[in-house]
Every structure is written in structure tokens, then in C-alpha cells.
Amino acid sequence: MTENPALTAGFNVAEAWNALERAQDAAPEAITGLLMHPHVGAWIAYALRRHRGGTSSDAPIAHDFGQLTALALAAAALAGQDFTTRVPLRDGRANVPCFGMAHFDGAAGWDTAEAGTTGGRLWLSHGGTRIDVPASGDGDGWYALRRVTAGDGPRLSVWLDDLDPLRDLADPVAPARLSAAELSRWTELITDAWSILCRVNPEMAAAMEVGVTSLVPLPVNDGWDTRSASTGDAFGAIMCSLPPDAVTLAVSLAHEFMHIKLGGLMHLVPLMGAGGEPTLYAPWRDDPRPPGGLLQGVYAFAGIADFWRRYLRQAGPDEAAIVEFEYAYARSQAQEGLATAQAAPELTEAGRRFTDALGAELASWPRDETPGSAAELARLVADAHRAGWRIRHCRPDPADIETLRDALRAAAPVTSRVRASTVRPDPAMRHWSQGRLGLARRRIVAPDRFEASPGEAWGAGLFPADLALFRGDARTAVREFGELVAEDPGRPDAWTGLGLALRADGDKAAAAALLERPEIVAALYPGAGRSPRDLADWVGTEVLR
């Protein structure tokens, strides 16, 4: 910044650096905590992305780099020192890390405010309006960053951040202040979720006590599961939409903490080499993933499986079936993703050791192979997702399809091997798999509402044939899915549903074609002159043999 004054035009960064150094000398522990605040890291990363052309904004770039003065202001306040500076305003809002946000009504989009500390007490001034920051809580024009604390030992203490412009994954966002009722609900959920984590996995809870420092509420999307996220730029921050219950929040916290840990490790030790296109199948994602992203997900879903494995030991009779399902599903996702990651050429030697150890851990966990069990239902959902991913994102070689079409017309044997399909991510197919997963859960926890599932937001893409499949009526499902494909061959879930139903009905060859290489069957179908089932049987017998 000192070499390029344009980056900080209008802001005295030299004074800010000096203020930071004075505060560090006076209160090293407090200033270390400030500098480790997750969204300080997010701000630095965002400013550097802007500088390097990785993102763009209407804001003057000096407003992004000038946030250093607000950081120095926070440091002076924490150290109890006097300091005066100018801080950037974004739509009238000034963010002071670890303290909160001042809002000046009527300020221009990209303005500045005078700000300072007197004996450690903050104040800000703009256009004749002065905001004196109270010792705690909100005040006139001031919105305090609120903290939620849960437990005694281990103890979780997190900022419930609804203010910081860089609390989301990428670009700045507006504040979304929680109401008193919403704050109360979040506090209750965090307290209860922390109690569950301490009971189920005390070792993880002890690590989270120091490794998780901020929780960012995300908007709720109707029809979707609880969403959660984290980023290596904001180490220690977890983003999460309001969950329906404390167990769901506990799982989300465990999930994202695994991401946080691995993100920290991968900053220090490369586990995947550079490069790698987003072409890999991740059982928890609807879109193809790059090698590094796949490995992140493997570790996170191993954490989810571990949570359910441990929770199962304490689950009551009303919970046992759904916990068994969640454990079996997450375990299978982690294991399948791990096998794909281990085959990636980008995996480093350190990555090999890491994945081998993780694989040994996963292999040591119990498996439930009982027919009709929750594990079998988990397999149904997992196979549906894998086949659905292939038919959406994999493209067979056109020459192979023409060769197969000729053999089909001539009733001749297939003499050449069909090549692997090419993964071509379909940007329009990034979110499509909620229905069948939700249907499996509904089948377990609320069977009386099972038949009504297609009428709900999350189940809008389900067919009556799905209900037949999940209730075990394979013959009805085969007939209805076959009719759906014949009516509209462009329905991916009709093809994959047919494959699942055929397997349940004992037609192994046709099922294998539709579950292992559905993209071939779908590509051959136009003009084939065969029913969907007959064509799938031909592919399974002649092509996949």
C-alpha cells in the first residue's frame, strides 16, 4: 500500500500502521484476537482480489484498502488508547471489526467519516452527526456485534455476525440484522447444539472451542436443506441458514469445522497439486468438482459420518432409524469420494498419506448390510444421485453412439469397446437432487406424510413413480417410469428412476445400464425403435458385458 498511494487515497495508512503497532505493544493478546477475527482475513483477501483483478466493484479501491484505518481504530479501542482517523463508509455504514457498525442516514455511497477513540471509547462523526458507541449493546446509529456463549467446558463463544460486509463467501453484502426473536432462537439453537456436540464428540468440541469464533446466519431458502459454508479466507467462521433443530445445527457445525481444519492444513501442506478441472464426481454435490474441492468434501463428510456414528450410540428408539440412515449415507458418500480423490493424479505424497489414514479410519467404522434397513435406503439415494449426475454432466463419444446405433439396427454384436464419457459440466444443473433424499427421510421420520411429499416445495420434482419406488412397489415404478421416459425422454430423473426400479424388480442388465452409464442409453434412445426398458437391457447385455 505504501508503494501505490492510489490504493489508499484519502486514508492515512501510515498513521494506521503506527496505531496498530502501539496497540500491539500495549495489548498483544487482544490485538492478536482482532487480527485473527475471521472477517479481517476475508477483508484482506477481498482487497487483494480487487487489486489483482480477481473481482470488480463500483466502490473506489481505496475504500477497500482504506478499511485498514477501521482496523487500527478497533485496535486502539481494545488497547484503551486515543486515536483519530478517517474510515470508509459504504452506503453510510462504517464497519469496525469486533465492535459493530455505525450507520449515517443520507451519506453518499462511497463517503468517509471521522472516527476516534478516547480512553478506549469509540466515536464516529459524519455530516454533523456524532455517534458515541456505548460500552455494550446498540445505540443511536450504532449496531453492536453480538456474541453468543454456550457451555462451561468446553465453552463456545462466537460472534453472531449479521453486520460485516464480508461475512459471506465472496463479495460484500448488506447487513441483515436479526430481530430480537431471531436472536433468541439462534441463541437457543447454538446452546443446545453445543451441548449435543460436547456430549457426542467431546474431542471435536474441545478443538472447536478455539477453532470456531464466528457464526454467520444465512438466508433460508424454501425447499432446501439447511445450508452451511466456510472459507479459508475467514478462518474460524461458519455460515449457516437457520436450522430446524439443534441436532441439524450440531451436524452443520461439525461439517464446517472439518472444512476449517483441512483448509488450514492445506494452506501449510499441499495435499493436491495445482490445477485439475472440475470434472470429478462428489456424492454430496450436484455439479462436478475439482480435485481440491473433492478432497475438502471427503474430509467434511467423514466428519458428518463420524458425528452420526457417535450419535447413534446415544440415540433413542424414535431417532435410531433416521440416525442409521444419515450415518450410512454420509459414510458411503465419504468412502466413494475418497476413492475418487485417491485416484486423482494431482494427489501429492502428503495427500496420499493423509487419504490413506482417512481411508483406514473410515474402514474401521461399522457397516449395516441388513436387507430392508436404513442402509439399504441410503444406497438407493446414493445410486440415484450418482446416476443423476452422470446423465446430466457426462457426454458419450458421438462416434461410439453411431457405432452402437448401427449395431442396434442390424441386430449385430458390439465388437468395439465404448470409451469413457467426457464430463461437461452443465451450469443449469447445479441443484437438482433434493427430492429423493427428502423422500427417503420422509419415509423414515414421517411415513404418514410420505404420499404428500410431491406437493411440498422440496418435493416439487418428484413423480408418483418415485413414491412407488420408495414404498417398495417395484413393478408399478418400472411401468410408471417407463411411461414418463416415453412421454418425455429429456427427463433425467425418469431415466434414473427406471434404473432403480428395474434393479428392485430383478432386471440386472437393464438396471446396470441405467445406473452405471445412463448417458449412453439416453443418447441412443431417439430413433432406436425400442422401449426404454428393452434399450437399457440391450446396452446392459451388449455394451457393458
215-219-220-224 Cα dihedral, nearest 10 degrees:
-90
Nearest Cα neighbor of 288 from 180, 200, 389, 411 is 389
Instruction: Using DSSP, state whether 416 is helix, strand or coil.
Output: coil
Nearest Cα neighbor of 83 from 94, 93, 95, 74 is 74
Supply 466's cell numbers. Answer: 418415485
Backbone angles phi, psi at 240, to 5 degrees: -155, 135
Asked if residue 267 lies in contact with residue 245, where contact means CB atoms within 8 angstroms, the answer is no
Nearest Cα neighbor of 512 from 492, 541, 480 is 541
Q: How far apart are CA 409 and CA 411, in angstroms?
A: 6
pTM for the complete prediction? 0.93
Give every CB contact of residue 500 below 8 A, 6+ residues apart in sequence. Answer: 380, 383, 384, 387, 469, 477, 511, 515
Q: How far apart are CA 330 and CA 495, in angstroms?
A: 25
Instruction: Using DSSP, state whether 163 is helix, strand or coil.
Output: coil
Tens-digit pLDDT string for the chain (545 aa): 667 888 999 999 999 999 999 999 999 999 999 999 999 999 999 999 999 999 999 999 999 999 999 999 999 999 999 999 999 999 999 999 999 999 999 998 899 999 999 989 999 999 999 999 999 999 999 999 999 999 998 999 999 999 999 999 888 999 999 999 999 999 999 999 999 999 999 999 999 999 999 999 999 876 568 999 999 999 999 999 999 999 999 999 999 999 999 999 999 999 999 888 999 999 999 999 999 999 999 999 999 999 999 999 999 999 999 999 999 999 999 999 999 999 999 999 999 999 999 999 999 998 876 566 888 999 999 999 999 999 999 999 999 999 999 999 999 999 999 999 999 999 888 889 889 999 999 999 999 999 999 999 889 899 999 999 999 999 999 999 999 999 999 999 999 999 999 999 999 999 999 999 999 999 999 999 999 999 999 999 999 98
pLDDT of residue 418: 95
Instruction: Using DSSP, state whether 336 is helix, strand or coil.
Output: helix
Q: Kindly tell me the burial class for residue 230, based on how many C-beta atoms sit within 10 Å of its own C-beta (0-12, 13-18, 19 or more).
A: buried
298-299-300-302 Cα dihedral, nearest 10 degrees:
80
Q: How far is CA 7 from CA 3, 84, 95, 97, in A?
A: 9, 20, 19, 20
The radius of gyration computed from the CA coordinates of the chain, to the nearest angstrom, equals 27
DSSP state of 12: -
